[in-house]
Structure 1
Amino acid sequence: MAAAGAAAGAAFAASKSATAKQPRNASRKTYVLVHGAWHGGWCWRDVAADLRAAGHIVHVPTLTGLGERVHLMSPAVNLSTHVTDVVNVFEFEELTDVILVGHSYAGHVIPLVADRIKNRVRHMVYLDAVVARDGQAFLAPDVADGRRKDAVDGYLLPPPDVSWFGIPTDHPLAPWVTRHLTNHSLNCLAETVHYRNGADADLPRTFIRCLQRRDMSQPDPLEKTIKGKPGWAWLTLDTGHDAMVTAREDLTAMLLEIS
């Protein structure tokens, strides 16, 4: 018995030593994928699975009051709440060197995250997002006031039909998306953005435009602002707004190429 125990102990020690000597995978990346309005971390299910299958670390936080956290919705939930949601993922998961991806409304969330913890972000990715400007809200004050009149309980905006997100009603995942969409707080869209540390101005940034949701007969004002500017990369996907649903493989491939 003693001999067997000694042998087992030696084997364990050898195994532990071999594991310790294994080189760290320098190519392994960490992604934080932030969803847009009415969505939740659930919308990244397939893209996250593909990124993980490629050997990367992926976090898909659900913002307060949405998705499986819908029970936490209240008038107090605003843009600042959602920024803290994402910052806390960095803090409690002890994340650094992160590729931070924001879809749609999250284009207002992720630069505020970078403004607070810029040294822990590696690359910013705006997926068909509204890029936040200092001193502005997602919705202009007059627009927000108009929407408030028809909002549920004075602040909740019901989700639109999936077709609004560029998902055909006959798409196999359309029923799944419809079941998971939840009301979004107008207070998140009405809060003004204020930067204290320059946001993401000195970080590498990529914008991915989903072409099928735009009127191609009109120029894209954001393309004029971003394309060709130092520090920015401009990419396009020939798909609808919810590219993580309708162009999973192409979007995953783009994210894998980002360094």
Structure 2
Amino acid sequence: MTAFILVAGAHTGGWIWQEVADRLRKSGAEAYPVTLTGMGEQARDAGPGTDLETHVHDLLRLIDQMDAAEVVMVGHCYGIYPVLGAADRRPERIARIVHLDAGMPRNGDRALTLVPEQALRERLLNGSDAAEDEGRIPPPSLEEWHRWGSVDGLPPTALARLTEHAVPQPAGTLTRPLRLSGAVSELPATGVLCTANGSSIAMVEGLVGLGDPRFQALTDPRVSFFELHTGHWPMLSRADEVAEVLPRAAAGEGHRVAATVSERPAHLRPFLLDVPERPRERVGRVDLHLPDTPAEEGSPWPAVVFVHGGPVHPDVRPTPRDWPAFVGYGRYVAGMGAVGVTLDHRLHDLADYGRAADDLAEAVDLVRADPRVDESRVALWYFSAGGLLSADWLAAPPPWLRCVAATYPILAPLPNWGRVDSRFRPADAVRTAGRLPIVVTRVELERAEIAMTVEEFLGAAKECDADVELIDVPQGHHGFETTERTEEASRAVERAVRSVLGHLRR
């Protein structure tokens, strides 16, 4: 018989698992919804010393009392931290770890990254008295839950119940680092991804395909994946599906991510247009793709700065500025009389947007200072998650910025991107962009969680009468420039380039 230990996220308790636990028991399994110290109905038990280690010991006591032959630990959101901490100390008792819309924290990580408010994270990290209730963080209000994760699929009654039963979270549970010996990494694991909260199997496979070493463990045959098409609280929005998926996960079912690929990774395939080579100069993290003909005195070239997405691990090779799509774009605009600028910015993690923004600003300054470049005619062109970096420039466009372009962009942080500073929200920043020309290339077969951010941006742009040109790619996918060689895809790239260069030449 399989026994499931169910550990919920921040501000909740064992009550949140009630429907899932009932269904598991009816199917013949054992279910143990856990209320950790200071949580749920035990909220009053929290003291100044209640921290992550307290919750790890809560789970260790439960494990040691159980006699089930097969124990599966399920961690949702914050709950994965104590789950991993306890499993690391009792690996011989655990058959599998299930990450239910939860991350992959490593030794030394803090659950503080789950807190959506950057100012609160910083105060807690600095040891300031940021909690309002004796060392505890107040729960979200009814209107604030969406900042902690997508509320997609939650009926109003369930959201009201979540608010009613939520309790303050002991601050130490978020600030104390997780300590792992490495034993837990040898256990089988399953990720149950909630697509409306920004996770999907396609996204996982994309991260693995980039060669990011952090995700290579996900190709282990003992690791599997399921998707639930709902928001961050599936035990409330899709209890039946959760109760169905967990036994399948315990049995080792689910999608496997291939350890090797039989063909070149998508991002390293050739650019869809046959573009001749152009002179290229490398200055630090910046490459300049130059037109064949020299700039005439008094008539310097305009420039287009291409901004890659991410996060991209620093060990990934080749780096983004050498990926065929960016080289292709750089050469293409150079062939049309503009400097094509590619760069490697340091968006290595979701918390790095501030640093990446500084890298982009530095690159722009370098380009505009080049005597061959017309400092008054520059365009910025963003791709994928790099789209969030457009917020600074949309919020207060400088006079030399003639156009902003974005291709299959992410234009608002995804619901599970809690570490991203609220400053990086193009969907808000566009309201002060004035009449700055904006060219958006949208792919028809975009991932739903990304498409929602584009629609949010376009809705805001329409409300403020922003100057947006929308280019659609029929049957196009994210990263289509190196995966599709259709006439529609080629025409979309050509049209977008012509439009951007047209704004630079006015």
Aligned equivalent of 2:32, options 40, 53, 59 = 59
Instruction: Map residues 114-129 of structure 1 onto 2, 5 A cutoff.
Output: 114-129=87-102
Aligned equivalent of 2:179, options 194, 197, 211 = 194
- The 1:80–1:223 alpha-carbon spacing in structure 2 relative to 1, beyond 3 Å, is farther
For residues 172-214 of structure 1, give each alpha carbon's deviation from its aligned partner in whole angstroms, at most 9, with x where no partner exists. 3222221111010221111112223x23211110011111122
For residues 206 and 237 of structure 2, the distance between their equivalents in structure 1, rounded to whole angstroms, comes to: 22
Match of 1:82 in 2: 55
For residues 144 and 244 of structure 1, the distance between their equivalents in structure 2, rounded to whole angstroms, comes to: 27
Aligned equivalent of 2:157, options 172, 182, 186 = 172
Whichever residue aligns with residue 49 of structure 1, its letter is: D
Match of 1:252 in 2: 243
Whichever residue aligns with residue 166 of structure 2, its letter is: L
Question: Is 1:242 the counterpart of 2:233 in the alignment?
Answer: yes
Aligned equivalent of 2:22, options 3, 28, 49 = 49
Whether the 8 Å CA contact 2:12–2:166 is kept in 1: the answer is: yes
Whether the 8 Å CA contact 1:111–1:199 is kept in 2: the answer is: no
Relative to the length of structure 1, the TM-score reads 0.80
Whichever residue aligns with residue 76 of structure 2, its letter is: H
Whichever residue aligns with residue 205 of structure 1, its letter is: A
In the comparison of the two structures, how many residue pairs are matched?
A: 230
For residues 119 and 240 of structure 1, the distance between their equivalents in structure 2, rounded to whole angstroms, comes to: 33
Larger Rg: 2
For residues 18-50 of structure 1, give each alpha carbon's deviation from its aligned partner in whole angstroms, at most 9, with x where no partner exists. xxxxxxxxxx31111111110100000000000
Give 1:219 shift. Answer: 5.3
Whether the 8 Å CA contact 2:133–2:168 is kept in 1: the answer is: no
Match of 2:137 in 1: 157
SS in 2 for 1:134: coil
Q: Provide the aligned C-alpha RMSD in A.
A: 2.6
Match of 1:98 in 2: 71
SS in 1 for 2:90: helix
Give 1:245 shift. Answer: 0.5
Whether the 8 Å CA contact 2:120–2:130 is kept in 1: the answer is: no
Whichever residue aligns with residue 93 of structure 1, its letter is: M
For residues 227 and 111 of structure 1, the distance between their equivalents in structure 2, rounded to whole angstroms, comes to: 16
Question: Is 1:111 the counterpart of 2:84 in the alignment?
Answer: yes
For residues 251 and 70 of structure 1, the distance between their equivalents in structure 2, rounded to whole angstroms, comes to: 26
SS in 2 for 1:132: coil
Whichever residue aligns with residue 136 of structure 1, its letter is: D
Structure 1 window deviating more from structure 2 (159-168 vs 230-239): it is 159-168
Give 1:257 shift. Answer: 1.0
Give 1:66 shift. Answer: 0.6
Greater relative contact order (CA < 8 Å, ≥ 6 in sequence): 1
Whichever residue aligns with residue 231 of structure 1, its letter is: R
Whether the 8 Å CA contact 1:144–1:189 is kept in 2: the answer is: no
For residues 48 and 247 of structure 1, the distance between their equivalents in structure 2, rounded to whole angstroms, comes to: 13
Long gaps (5+) in structure 2 = 209-214, 252-506
For residues 70-109 of structure 1, give each alpha carbon's deviation from its aligned partner in whole angstroms, at most 9, with x where no partner exists. 0111221000000000111112234442011000011111
Give 1:238 shift. Answer: 0.9
Relative to the length of structure 2, the TM-score reads 0.42
For residues 215 and 255 of structure 1, the distance between their equivalents in structure 2, rounded to whole angstroms, comes to: 18
Whether the 8 Å CA contact 1:31–1:99 is kept in 2: the answer is: yes
Match of 1:6 in 2: none
Counting aligned pairs with the same residue, the percent is: 27
For residues 205 and 112 of structure 2, the distance between their equivalents in structure 1, rounded to whole angstroms, comes to: 17
- The 1:155–1:236 alpha-carbon spacing in structure 2 relative to 1, beyond 3 Å, is same
SS in 2 for 1:135: coil
